[in-house]
Amino acid sequence: MTSENLLQADVVVIGFGKGGKIAAGTLGRLGRRVVLIERSDQMYGGTCPNVGCVPTKALVHRSGQRRANDPPQEWFERAVGEVQAITSAFRAGNFEALDGAETITLITGEASFVDPHTIAVETGAGRVEVRGETILINTGSEPVIPDIPGLRDSPLTVTNVDLIHTTHLPDRLVVIGGGYLGIEFASIYRRFGAQVTVLEASPRILGREDDDIAAVAERILTDEGVRIVPGARVLEIRGDDTVVYEKDGREHTLSADAILSATGRRPATAALRLDNAGVRTTASGAVEVDEYLRTAQPHIFALGDVNGGPQFTYISLDDSRIVLDQLIGDGKRTTTDRVAVPQTLFMSPPLATVGLTEKAARAAGHRIKVGYQAVADIVAMPRAYIVEETRGAMKFVIDLDTDQILGAALLSVDAQELINVVALAMRQGVTASALQSSIFTHPSSTEAFNDVIGAVVRSD
């Protein structure tokens, strides 16, 4: 440190997300002088423990515990309070884990580049400048509010971040967008007792999935009372509480108490002044990186959502491994090493997928066979009946020539865990037949694989 307002660091990390905190902690323990900058004291630890994975999945759990005679508003308010207590504990734990280290300095404030090595931070106590030999950008992403007349100005408009912080359960929630984010929140808030309508511009929800899996998911949601309107183009937000949309050439209106914009997230780069650092961005605003996560400046890296990759906490974690391999390893690890990366939509029950869908496999020229069963029909899966969750379906897409698993979609109890077994099998080259004939504990959800893989419904 050369003065009170100028810090010298070996490594500067902008953003306290998963990848950034892992890199900062690892390098700090190795004796590197690390400065970690986070713009909000409510975001120590990043999106996941504060406004993403942890609170939303905690709400999924609590929404499923509400009984029919539990007053919705009282149950919701208590649930939100419990969830906020969890996120506060996680946030404090993340702060203490790094702030107490001798080699790590934590600054709370808005960061922007002055030049390729210097970052200005506007804190509550004034401006601080930090100069670093290596800089890691880990600022994450932020919700997108589409340019629909009246939407941005409406007092009813909320993002997913806004929604999980409110203790008032909206009687009527309108969700704009039927992708993963929109469907997850639709499921949560319907189970808490809100009237939920999902407006999706495409012909159906979950457009990335095969038709059969999407149809099962839609049936589960509609059976729970979620109203889904496909092919709906939102035209405007009119007055105090009216959503206007077009479907099949006709104009329709909906009354709402809250309007969730669930049309995606974009990299949070606007405030960074990346031009001052000579760092390029893509058309979507993401930091442009190579397979080693280096930017146009060799000493500057970008980790997590901000680099335009898949927006998952576990990808940010893997990004930290790639960057650390560049800084303290042999420099061989890259983003191209990633194979069979799974993902989960936490509706109830969850939908977890990995690899190719059936339509993608056919488009890629594979000769395939498809194993498919409704969960209620899987004899080898008594756990579904034990826990009283027999909704859903399981599907495997298998290469007919090699018997390799090309992809899977699991819409079932425990799917978020099952998909990791499938992904590991795919990464290790375990054949579908080998997975099907494996020995699994009983009664467990995994043993469903003994049946489903062999339940071939289509074969080329």
Q: What is the pLDDT of residues 380-393, one digit of tens each?
A: 999 999 999 999 99
As given in the structure block, the two tokens for residue 21 are 């905190």
Asked whether residue 137 is assigned to any structural domain, the reply reads: yes
If asked whether residues 187 and 199 sit together in one domain, one would say yes
Domain termination residue (choose one: 310, 337, 364): 337
Using 50, 70 and 90 to split pLDDT, how confident is the model at 209? very high
Domain limits for position 179: 157-263
Which residue(s) pair with 112 in the sheet? 120
Asked whether residue 291 is assigned to any structural domain, the reply reads: yes
Asked whether residue 149 is assigned to any structural domain, the reply reads: no
| Angle at CA of residue 359, ends 353 and 365, nearest 5° | 115
Q: Mean pLDDT over residues 441-460, rounded?
A: 96
If asked whether residues 357 and 369 sit together in one domain, one would say yes
Query: What proportion of the chain, given as a percentage, has pLDDT over 70?
Result: 99
442 is catalytic: yes
316 with 303: CB under 8 angstroms? yes
| Full-model pTM | 0.93
Residue 385 CB-half CA count within 13 A: 10
If asked whether residues 139 and 173 sit together in one domain, one would say no
Q: In this model, does residue 42 exceed pLDDT 90?
A: no
* Residues in Cβ contact with 111 at an 8 Å cutoff, skipping those fewer than 6 apart: 14, 37, 39, 119, 120, 121, 271, 272
Q: Mean pLDDT over residues 169-191, rounded?
A: 96
Domain termination residue (choose one: 313, 337, 361): 337
CATH number of the domain where residue 95 is located:
3.50.50.60
Using 50, 70 and 90 to split pLDDT, how confident is the model at 347? very high
Mean pLDDT of the chain: 95
If asked whether residues 359 and 447 sit together in one domain, one would say yes
Asked whether residue 151 is assigned to any structural domain, the reply reads: no
Determine which of 12-16, 39-43, 170-174, 302-306 has the lowest per-residue pLDDT on average.
Answer: 39-43
CATH number of the domain where residue 350 is located:
3.30.390.30
Q: Mean pLDDT over residues 296-325, rounded?
A: 96
Asked whether residue 152 is assigned to any structural domain, the reply reads: no
**CA–CA distance, 406 with 366 (Å, rounded to integer):** 9
Asked whether residue 231 is assigned to any structural domain, the reply reads: yes
Query: What proportion of the chain, given as a percentage, has pLDDT over 90?
Result: 88
**CA–CA distance, 8 with 73 (Å, rounded to integer):** 51
Domain termination residue (choose one: 307, 337, 367): 337
Using 50, 70 and 90 to split pLDDT, how confident is the model at 329? very high
Q: Mean pLDDT over residues 317-326, rounded?
A: 98
If asked whether residues 259 and 270 sit together in one domain, one would say no
Catalytic residue among 117, 165, 299, 442: 442
Q: Mean pLDDT over residues 218-240, rounded?
A: 96
If asked whether residues 293 and 306 sit together in one domain, one would say yes
If asked whether residues 177 and 228 sit together in one domain, one would say yes
**CA–CA distance, 14 with 301 (Å, rounded to integer):** 10
Strand order in the sheet with 343-345: 343-345, 351-355, 405-411, 393-399, 368-374, 456-459
pLDDT of residue 5: 78
Asked whether residue 148 is assigned to any structural domain, the reply reads: no
**CA–CA distance, 448 with 378 (Å, rounded to integer):** 6
If asked whether residues 296 and 372 sit together in one domain, one would say no
**CA–CA distance, 431 with 433 (Å, rounded to integer):** 5
Asked whether residue 1 is assigned to any structural domain, the reply reads: no
Q: In this model, does residue 2 exceed pLDDT 70?
A: no
Q: In this model, does residue 439 exceed pLDDT 90?
A: yes
Q: How many domains does the chain contain in total?
A: 3
If asked whether residues 320 and 399 sit together in one domain, one would say no
Q: In this model, does residue 3 exceed pLDDT 80?
A: no
If asked whether residues 133 and 163 sit together in one domain, one would say no
If asked whether residues 311 and 364 sit together in one domain, one would say no
If asked whether residues 136 and 271 sit together in one domain, one would say yes
